[in-house]
């Protein structure tokens, strides 16, 4: 990578400006307590509230949470139904909390498979939080990075076939405008909870240069202190983007 194409903050680690989190471990949290999986998901929703508040207090401008992947539809029907019910409840009950935290909500993902009432709740929540400016909170629902990349590729192919663009004009900036995260800065820090060390089809393009921090804490137990520890680890690292360190 040439120096001219390096991100503006190459070699400097003051942030992070954008933290993305794979929220993992709800089921294991519930199983360890002899509870149904939905109990873990409910406690996980409490952790979402804590972490949004904590991120706002830490001055993190952008927070992205992986809530439901395209692969999660393969889970048992009852569990998917419980998750959709929790999503409905969250969208309808958390608007005041989001407002208190100055959080602007954006839902990222394919909405075509979601129930119409959930889509309406998403649109309503996004509209009602649009003027909040303290922190941007992106929640990924029915999101898969491979699907996102394929969709962007198809969109550009259609535009090229129609003569709207030339194939040689396609660059990273043009491609990024076709992604579901268009307008959102790339994450500098990706956190995964529960001890798993995978990125699981999450923001594959956007996390090309993200620092990865894996923590053993199960998501329902994750709070501001764990977020601070991950941020501290991030700030210890020198970000070279393929260059040579000092």
Q: Is 37 annotated as a binding residue?
A: yes
| Catalytic-labelled residue, pool 24, 82, 121, 186 | 24
Inform me whether the pLDDT recorded for 11 exceeds 70: no
In a domain, 35, yes or no: yes
pTM: 0.91
In a domain, 243, yes or no: no
Percentage of the chain exceeding pLDDT 70: 93
Q: Is 198 annotated as a binding residue?
A: yes
Secondary structure of 98-112 as H, E, C letters: HHHCCEEEEEECCCC
Q: Is 18 annotated as a binding residue?
A: no
User: Is 72 labeled as catalytic in the residue annotation?
Assistant: yes
Higher pLDDT, 121 or 13: 121
In a domain, 149, yes or no: no
Inform me whether the pLDDT recorded for 2 exceeds 80: no
Domain that includes residue 55, residue range: 15-144+186-236
Q: Is 70 annotated as a binding residue?
A: yes
Nearest to 64 by CA among 123, 124, 106: 106
| Whole-number Å distance between alpha carbons of 246 and 124 | 49
pLDDT one-digit tens code per residue, 77-126: 999 999 999 999 999 999 999 999 999 999 999 999 999 999 999 999 99
Say how many domains are in the chain. 1
In a domain, 3, yes or no: no
Average predicted confidence (pLDDT) for the chain: 93
* CATH number of 103's domain: 3.40.1180.10
The pLDDT of residue 122 is: 97
The pLDDT of residue 241 is: 73
Q: Is 181 annotated as a binding residue?
A: no
| Catalytic-labelled residue, pool 9, 72, 201, 223 | 72
Contact 213, 221 (CB under 8 A): no
In a domain, 154, yes or no: no
Residue 167 CA: distances (Å) to CA of 178, 179, 228? 15, 17, 44
Inform me whether the pLDDT recorded for 5 exceeds 60: no
- Poorest-confidence range of 7-16, 102-111, 135-144? 7-16
In a domain, 166, yes or no: no
In a domain, 60, yes or no: yes
In a domain, 102, yes or no: yes
Nearest to 190 by CA among 245, 233, 236, 128: 233
User: Is 24 labeled as catalytic in the residue annotation?
Assistant: yes
């Amino acid at each position: 990578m040439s120096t001219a194409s390096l991100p503006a903050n190459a070699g400097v680690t003051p942030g992070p400006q954008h933290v993305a989190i794979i929220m993992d471990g709800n089921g294991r949290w519930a199983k360890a307590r002899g509870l149904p999986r939905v109990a873990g998901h409910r406690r996980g929703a409490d952790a979402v509230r804590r972490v949004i508040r904590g991120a706002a207090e830490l001055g993190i401008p952008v927070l992205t949470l992986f809530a439901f992947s395209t692969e999660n539809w393969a889970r048992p029907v009852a569990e998917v139904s419980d998750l959709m019910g929790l999503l409905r409840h969250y969208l309808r009950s958390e608007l005041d909390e989001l407002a208190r935290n100055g959080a602007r909500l954006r839902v990222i993902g394919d909405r075509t498979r979601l129930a119409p009432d959930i889509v309406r709740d998403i649109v309503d929540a996004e509209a009602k939080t649009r003027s909040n400016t303290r922190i941007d909170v992106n929640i990924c629902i029915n999101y898969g990075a491979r699907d996102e990349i394929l969709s962007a590729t198809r969109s550009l192919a259609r535009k090229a076939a129609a003569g709207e663009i030339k194939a040689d004009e396609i660059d990273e900036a043009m491609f990024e405008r076709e992604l579901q995260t268009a307008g959102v800065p790339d994450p500098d820090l990706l956190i995964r909870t529960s001890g798993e060390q995978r990125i699981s089809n999450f923001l594959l393009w956007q996390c090309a240069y993200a620092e990865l921090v894996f923590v053993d804490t199960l998501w329902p137990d994750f709070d501001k202190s764990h977020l601070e520890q991950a941020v501290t680890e991030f700030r210890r690292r020198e970000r070279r983007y393929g260059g040579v360190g000092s």
